[in-house]
Amino acid sequence: MQQVPAQGIRIGPARTGSDEEVAMASVVTGMSAAARAKRKVGFIIWGAVILAVWLLCSLAFAAFMEQAAPNFISAFVMGQMFGWIFFLLGVILLLIGIICEIRARSFNRRDIAQANALHDRLVAFSQTPRAAVYGDPGNAQIANARVIEIERHFDQQTEGAITGALETSMRMFSTSFGTSSASTYTGSDNRLDTYGSQSSVTSGTLNGTTIANLRMSKTTRANLMGDALFAVFEIDGNDTFRVVSMSAPGVRDWMSELIMAVANHFGGTSTHSGNVVAAWVPNLTGHFGPQDVSYATDRLKALAARPLEEREPVAITGTMIGRNAMIATQMSISSAAPLELLPVVFPRALGVALGAPEQRAELPHAAMA
């Protein structure tokens, strides 16, 4: 799933300086779609037009009736016997439009302030070390495990098309039968009167044949850098443990969906706040996304090619998903540095960074790896 940063949003360092400088350096400008939806510009226009027409008609009526009234003001008031309806309608429409405009601008100011605050928090969050979102003290740990089976599953994308043509032939047969008759009479005044009748019957059949020639083609491409991990390890010499890990593109898609869910919580693309959060998708997934899944698979494949007694021990950290089965988040071969496979702490860290209550997000199902 590809995400496109929202237009007009600048992703950069946090804004510092005086209040005036911070306001001028706002990451968003203009009025958001949600704020524009709250405006009632038509009410303002129609209210102003109705009031202008009312005023012109009232002045014209007062000038015309000035001779019958004591003065111009009395003639003007006399004209409001019916004109007050248009005056009241214009005032109501104008007030509704003005109130909605005030509310829309107030909403937009709060939205911009929140968008700037979210941007500053995301800037600080993006500077968090990668290791902070991979290590979770609550995860299960396995030590001195030896790989006995290893498989890799590449992400695949299938594209297809169905093309074709329709050939139709039609044949029609019809018959028609009709009768007509006429009678002429001479009246007493030597006038000729003619009476006639006509009837006809038509029947027909329509036969057709349609031939469809369809062709289907599809192409499946495997991402050779997007392999998921499936391995079985032996522990304690008499037990096994199944370990799976999502592919790197799959993890980045999962992270993108989490960030977009947060953006939708803030109004989605119709608000400045939602656009700011959505614009950070490529930055956050690029910074915190795993980079060691394919390498870990290659290392385990190399270990599995050796005799069992020569295979180096492996330490694994992950989240349990069943009996003796886990989604791996980190893996260390022998005494090497841990390999990062799944940023399990990322949902919680993102929520804390944006001020949301700390809670553990549900991991994607292992079958989707």
Global pTM? 0.70
Helices (H), ranges, the chain: 19-24, 33-37, 41-64, 72-78, 80-126, 248-265, 272-279, 281-288, 293-304, 346-353
Q: Is residue 5 part of a domain?
A: no
Report pLDDT for 197: 73
Range of the domain at 213: 159-217
Separation CA 357–CA 334 (nearest Å): 38
Which is nearest to 364 in space by CA: 261, 257, 256, 254? 254
Report pLDDT for 15: 54
The number of distinct structural domains making up the chain is: 3
Asked if residue 284 and residue 183 are part of one domain, the reply reads no
**The residue to which tokens 């202008």 are assigned:** 52
Report pLDDT for 138: 81
Report pLDDT for 10: 52
Give pLDDT < 50 ranges for the chain. Answer: 1-8, 16-24, 357-369
Asked if residue 79 and residue 120 are part of one domain, the reply reads yes
CATH number, residue 145: 2.40.50
Asked if residue 196 and residue 311 are part of one domain, the reply reads no
Asked if residue 166 and residue 152 are part of one domain, the reply reads no
Q: Is residue 9 part of a domain?
A: no
Asked if residue 297 and residue 355 are part of one domain, the reply reads yes
Q: Is residue 303 part of a domain?
A: yes
Report pLDDT for 232: 92
Cβ-contact 204, 198 below 8 angstroms:
no
Torsion, CA 30, CA 34, CA 35, CA 37, rounded to 10: 120
Asked if residue 199 and residue 54 are part of one domain, the reply reads no
CA 204 to chain centre: 55
Residues 33-43: tens digit of each pLDDT: 999 999 899 99
Cα end-to-end distance, the chain, whole Å: 15
Report pLDDT for 288: 92
CA 259 to chain centre: 12
